[in-house]
Structure 1
């Protein structure tokens, strides 16, 4: 009886671990701003990758707009070309200058970058594809701890999803704005985060959830193996 209970308990652990791992994948289906390597420094530069998953079964993504607050005083944004997409960086003249992270006046900061899919391109409909859009931005502000980068995702059926909600409590909003955390300046001349590398990147929350789910699977598998071994030893002894 104890062996059967152990088997049932182990199966439940494995089931919950699998559910947790799958749940982590569902929770990550947002537009996110990711940084490879260390966090960018205040007053420096950042290499940021926007991960955009498609979430509509009957429509594909054909446009992405990323907004930069004028008070960030970011004077330069560059982008890595994405095959099948065009990009446009927009600046907005201000009535009075704002100070950037190096305490210099900026009167024409970057306020938007727009990625537009060419005909026949874009992120395919359904929930199996995503695209990454890589940019660099400088000079980063020195008076904030994070960059909030509202993003607008447009589908080819005209539907628009605004990823612009701020998280104020423990619960994540339905359409959270992408956020990049900044660390204190260390005196490095550029303050650029680590160079881009190949491979996939996830946010820290998504990565932690996946790690916990994977750990649960391993623990469940080990427990299941031990229980099966106990059953076999019990049957052998009975014989």
Structure 2
């Protein structure tokens, strides 16, 4: 019985080690974070670079920018211990932007060098880019990783046709439609001023003013009639007194 338990434990441990071993390469890929941004907008992207080697350090990272959909504005955040260089140049062929402008030059690549990513560590290299194109759903950023032992790894493989992951997948930024267009937020903003609610309020306010005007007019008329009655009564009394005096 004990032998059976030990054998089951050994098989379980072996299967777990194999699973972890298969999962580690996927976790060690160079990726873009966050991996999604809105079309036509601006975004900050971080190129997350892990060190995959046990006896060498990563000493250089070179990120190539798309030339078929160039990004007009690119800026980088300094990374302590690393030198950064933006390479700008002519595009292989002119590109017409979403605004109809003809673009002939753009940022071609960013290179970080002079630092070290030690074994078991990773580093993020950030850039702010935009505006993003509106007519594509993804932008690839082929990346070259250089190690201290001279090894060079190119992260530039496109996704396979069968959907499986490539050996060195290219870091890719997925582009989605702006949230306002999907949720119809503008219609929700107009709800407070819906025409069905306004007339009832206006009618209530107008009706209140009419009642006040009618009540005021009735009071004024009563006061005038009362004053006239008093004047007529006084005049009648004076006439009666004058008649008695003439008779006497």
Task: Return the TM-score normalized by structure 1.
Answer: 0.64
Map 1:12-91 → 2, pairs under 5 A: 20=19, 23-35=22-34, 39-91=36-88
- Closer, same or farther: CA 55–102 of 1 in aligned 2, 3 Å: same
Residue in structure 1 matched with residue 130 of structure 2 by the alignment:
138
**Alignment partner, residue 159 of structure 2:** 167
Asked if the contact 2:67–2:92 (Cα under 8 Å) also holds between the matched residues in 1, the reply is no
Helix, strand or coil for the counterpart of 2:44?
Answer: strand
Q: Distance in 1 between matches of 2:24 and 2:91?
A: 42
Q: Counterparts of 1:134 and 1:92 in 2: how far apart (Å)?
A: 21
Inter-CA distance 175–26: structure 2 relative to 1 (3 Å threshold): closer
* Aligned residue in 2 for 1:147: 139
Structure of higher CA gyration radius: 2
Give SS of 1:171's match: coil
Aligned residue pairs, count: 179
Contact residue 33 and residue 178 of structure 1 kept, 8 A: yes
- Relative to structure 1, the CA distance from residue 10 to residue 130 in structure 2 (aligned partners, 3 Å threshold; closer, same or farther) is same
Change (3 A) 1:11 1:80: same
- The structure in which a higher percent of residues are helix is 2
- For 2:92 and 2:158, how far apart are their aligned partners in 1? 28
Determine the C-alpha separation between the residues in 1 that align with 2:30 and 2:91.
29
Instruction: Using the TM superposition, give the Cα deviation of residue 91 of structure 1 relative to its aligned residue in structure 2, in angstroms.
Output: 1.4
Structure 2 Cα separation of the partners of residues 187 and 92 of structure 1: 35
- In the alignment, which residue of structure 2 is the partner of 1:105? 102
Alpha-carbon RMSD across the aligned residues, in angstroms, is 2.9
Q: Are residues 164 and 26 of structure 1, via their aligned partners in 2, closer, same or farther at CA, if it must alter by over 3 Å?
A: closer
Q: Distance in 2 between matches of 1:12 and 1:99?
A: 60
- What stretches of structure 2 of length at least 5 have no aligned partner? 182-248
For residue 93 of structure 1, give the secondary structure of its aligned residue in structure 2.
Answer: strand
Q: Give 1 or 2: higher strand fraction.
A: 2
User: Which residue matches 2:116?
Assistant: 122
Where relative contact order (Cα < 8 A, 6+ residues apart) is larger, the structure is: 1
Deviates more, 1:104-113 or 1:59-68: 104-113
Q: 1:177 aligns with which of 152, 155, 170?
A: 170
Unaligned residue ranges in structure 1 (runs of 5+): 189-239
Distance 1:151 1:96, change over 3 A: closer
Rounded Cα–Cα distance in structure 1 between residues aligned with 2:180 and 2:103: 22
Query: Per-residue deviation at 1:29?
Result: 0.8
Task: Rate the CA distance shift 1:84–1:95 in 2: closer, same or farther, 3 A.
Answer: closer
